[in-house]
Amino acid sequence: MSFFGGNGMQSQQAINPQNIAMAEQELEMVTDLFNRIVDSCYTKCISKEYAQNDLTQGESVCIDRCVAKFFDVNTKVGEKMQQMGQQNMPK
């Protein structure tokens, strides 16, 4: 949809498709990370008994720590993989 209806300001600037692709990948990664955290922390923290509509105090605290830990693990694994600089995919 962004191909149609540009305004005057836009028409004076060139769009570099590589910048758009990079932004798309960044967006994709952030969304994927968010979705995985939602999944994992729901499984770790939320009681399946569904006794009330609100998060309990324990669940809330667990979520906060769970998100922080997931970020931590994400960073640590990223550092580790950068060290190794290896690739493990089928060609």
Partner 1 sequence: MDFSRYNQAEQAQINAMIEHKQMKDFLRLYSNLVQRCFDDCANDFTTKSITGKEEACINKCADKFLKHSERVGARFAELSQQMAPQ
Asked if 45 and 67 touch (Cβ cutoff 8 Å), the reply is no
CB of 57 to a second copy, least distance (A): 20
Using CB under 8 A as the binding rule, the residues of this chain from 33 to 62 that contact a second copy are: 34
CA distance 40 to 70: 9
82 binds, among partner 1, a second copy, none (CB under 5 to 8 A by kind): none
Phi-psi region of 5 (alpha: psi -120 to 50; beta: other; left: phi over 0): left
The answer to whether 29 contacts a second copy (rule: CB under 8 A) is no
Closer CB to a second copy, residue 85 or residue 90? 90
